[in-house]
Amino acid sequence: MKKTSIIALGIALSIWACKETPLSNNLEHIAYAPSSYTVVPPTGFPAMEIPADNPMTVEGISLGRHLFYDPIMSGDSTISCSSCHQLDKAFTDGLAKAEGVNHRVGRRSTMSLINIGYSWIKNRDKNFMWDGRFARLEDQPIAPVEDPNEMDFNWPDLVKRLQKHPEYPRMFREAFGISDTREITKYLASKAIAQFERTLNSANSKYDRDRWVAFDYMTQQQKRGFDLFLGDAANNPITKDAECVHCHSFSDTKALFARNNFSNNGLDSAASFNDFVDKGYGEATGDYTQNGLFKEVTLRNIALTAPYMHDGRFATLREVVDHYASGGHASPNVAPELTTATELRTLTNSEKDDLVAFLHALTDTTLTQHEEWKSPF
């Protein structure tokens, strides 16, 4: 009896000893020596502003890239960030509205991630997404994980998956210096993804080459379209003023083709502020006068990001131009840049084609050549 008890105790002790103990979570045996990474701005872009609490490192970017492409992020392990943000579509998905697990359809269209780091206005609390609900790029990746129409998962369980993963604990250690797997959090995962996203910068289009290289890359049609885009500023007396540049603004040293504001571009009629079906920016700010406003997107790579608008209602760029040329629908806060643009309403079919041709000149044809943006798996 005594012998049996001793053997049983021995077995129990052995099992207990083999069980995962806090000591096995320790990561301090892995070197933490992150290499600082500096974003090299494309020609015509300023230095990118990086938040002080998330300095970029080679290891952080690598971790972010892995997480971005890993379906581990979704409940049924079918969907990753890259499912909706596909490189060959300038990190959009070609759908009117994003699809998540089990093909569930989300509320709005997937936004491009190209040059997303330049969308940050530091002291503004509404920056990212169609409705601007996230202040920082670091805030954004947290939401899709728990959205039932996107990844349909929960962070506590995802963190457990990451903690038990054969590679991620090491990568979190190398990126952020955590000493224990239990220090893996959604915030660190999100920081890593934000670091990766800040590397997705593109400015190698025909327009850029025309601007910076002594050679004509844009076609005559694209140049005519550019003059229409600029309007009066093109200083071409025979050119009409399509007045696109007021919202899709740029300068030689900040050639974003976006002013990063929110506006109502006349998509829907609304008799009052409360009549907008999708309240957009107003939903995020709580200010009813901002209902129906959405993020003005960059026109860079716009030819790759169809369909267009927050709900993907326009299949082609020509449909977009047709919409603007119609003057848009009336509502209390429709952008006066649109409603006062009288010559925009007189564009001929041929002029509309010219505008569309210019928009194609903003496509970076080297996007898919970036090996460092592709899946690491």
| Interaction site with other proteins (CB under 8 A) | 45-46, 49, 120-124, 230, 232-235, 243, 245-246, 249-254, 256, 258-261, 273, 287-289, 332-334, 336-337, 339-340, 342
**325 vs 342: CA distance, rounded Å:** 9
- Whether 34 contacts 150, CB under 8 Å: no
Nearer to other proteins, 50 or 129 (CB): 50
Q: Which residue number, 306 or 341, has a Cβ lying nearer to other proteins?
A: 341
Residue number, 80 or 115, with CB nearest to other proteins: 115
Which lies closer to other proteins via its Cβ, residue 67 or residue 230?
Answer: 230
Distance in angstroms (rounded) separating the CA atoms of residues 325 and 131: 25
Rounded to a whole number of angstroms, the minimum distance from the CB of residue 327 to other proteins is 10
Q: How far is the CB of 312 from other proteins (least distance, A)?
A: 25
Tokens of 92: 């959009």
**Nearest distance, CB of residue 333 and other proteins, angstroms:** 6
Q: Which is nearer to other proteins, 256 or 306 (CB)?
A: 256
CB 35 within 8 A of CB 57: yes
CB of residue 307 to other proteins, shortest distance in Å: 25
Least CB distance from residue 163 to other proteins, whole Å?
Answer: 36
In angstroms, what is the minimal distance from the CB of 182 to other proteins?
A: 36
**Closest approach of Cβ 285 to other proteins, in Å?**
10
Extract the tokens encoding 190.
């999100």
- CA angle, residues 96, 99, 104, in degrees to nearest 5: 120
Phi-psi region of 265 (alpha: psi -120 to 50; beta: other; left: phi over 0): alpha
The type of residue at 43 is: T
Q: Which is nearer to other proteins, 99 or 296 (CB)?
A: 296
Closer residue to other proteins in complex, CB, 177/327: 327
Nearer to other proteins, 316 or 342 (CB): 342
The least distance separating other proteins from the CB of residue 332, rounded to whole angstroms, comes to: 6
Q: Which is nearer to other proteins, 5 or 235 (CB)?
A: 235
CB of 334 to other proteins, least distance (A): 8
